[in-house]
């Protein structure tokens, strides 16, 4: 019998993705749902939609609200929150590492480490030095991972992942898929898990 599952599409620089990344494994494990982590880049999605900047940046009032909302949500979920002094903070190299690690058991802990550093500590996450420190802290040798992450085939892999997100109709992060059923936003995580359970054979 196939276990119920869902796809978790997220951007490492997305604050609402941070909320879901920190919660999804515990919730899914408790429910018996398998999670497939799908890191991608929102920037090209926004470009394709004709947006000159992320909506939280383009609309000042929305940006102010979201930062206050993040403070409340992090308090609700008992997560660290340090308002990022740079938003969105560059996370391209970190995302390339995440795409490279698609089949590695340390992918979820890596993504959480990047997001905690960004949103819980307000520290940059994309320099080789920062990447190396986070990898080594997880017992992963940094030099070969960085070399592979920067290789052209992995760069192309990230482009294709982001193109796939666009083809699926993704317009924001986090987004969850159960089969073809889409759920958008951190507040739809639990709904996605229920859907996965309801559609399991």
Residue 1 scores a pLDDT above 70: no
Strand order from edge to edge, sheet including 5-10 = 34-39, 5-10, 175-178, 181-184
User: In the predicted model, what is the mean pLDDT of residues 4-26?
Assistant: 97
Residues facing 175 on adjacent strands: 9, 184
State pLDDT tens for residues 31-86: 999 999 999 999 999 998 888 777 777 788 988 999 999 999 999 999 999 999 99
With CA atoms as reference, report the closest residue to 182 among 197, 165, 200.
Answer: 165
Q: How far is 186 from 200, CA to CA, in rounded Å?
A: 22
Give the mean model confidence (pLDDT) for residues 98-121.
97
Backbone angles phi, psi at 60, to 5 degrees: -55, -45
Q: Are 4 and 196 in contact (CB under 8 A)?
A: yes
Q: DSSP code of 119?
A: I
- For residue 5, the number of C-alpha atoms closer than 13 Å in the C-beta half-sphere is 10
Using 50, 70 and 90 to split pLDDT, how confident is the model at 21?
Answer: very high
In whole angstroms, give the CA distance from residue 131 to residue 110: 10
125 pLDDT exceeds 70? yes
Q: Which two tokens stand for residue 69?
A: 């909302």
Residues with active-site annotation:
14
Taking only the tens place, the pLDDT of each residue in 143-158 is 999 999 999 999 999 9
| Strand partners for 176 | 8, 183
Please report how many Cα atoms fall inside a 13 Å half-sphere around the Cα of residue 21, on the Cβ side: 29
At 123, list the tokens: 């520290």
Residue 178 to residues 19, 66, 170, 171: CA-CA distances in angstroms? 19, 27, 14, 17
**Stretch 1-12: mean pLDDT, rounded?**
92
Homologous superfamily of 5-199: Glutaredoxin (3.40.30.10)
pLDDT averaged over every residue in the chain:
95
Specify the residue for token string 């929305």: 62
Looking at residue 51, its pLDDT comes to: 80
Q: Which residue has better confidence, 102 or 63?
A: 102
């Amino acid at each position: 019998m196939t276990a119920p599952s869902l796809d978790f599409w997220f951007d490492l620089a997305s604050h609402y993705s941070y909320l879901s990344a920190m919660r999804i494994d515990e919730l899914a494990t408790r429910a018996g749902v398998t999670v497939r982590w799908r890191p991608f880049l929102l920037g090209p999605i926004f470009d394709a939609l004709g947006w000159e900047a992320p909506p939280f940046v383009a609309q000042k009032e929305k940006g102010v609200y979201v930062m206050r909302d993040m403070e409340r949500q992090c308090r609700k979920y008992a997560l660290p929150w340090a308002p990022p002094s740079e938003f969105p903070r560059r996370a391209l190299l970190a995302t390339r590492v995440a795409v490279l690690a698609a089949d590695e058991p340390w992918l979820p802990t890596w993504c959480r480490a990047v997001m905690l550093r960004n949103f819980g500590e307000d520290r940059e996450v994309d320099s080789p030095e920062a990447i190396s420190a986070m990898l080594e802290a997880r017992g992963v040798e940094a030099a070969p991972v960085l070399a592979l992450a920067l290789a052209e085939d992995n760069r192309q892999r990230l482009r294709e992942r982001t193109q796939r997100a666009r083809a699926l109709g993704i317009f924001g992060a986090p987004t969850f898929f159960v089969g073809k059923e889409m759920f958008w936003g951190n507040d739809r995580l639990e709904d996605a898990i229920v859907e996965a359970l309801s559609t399991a054979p």
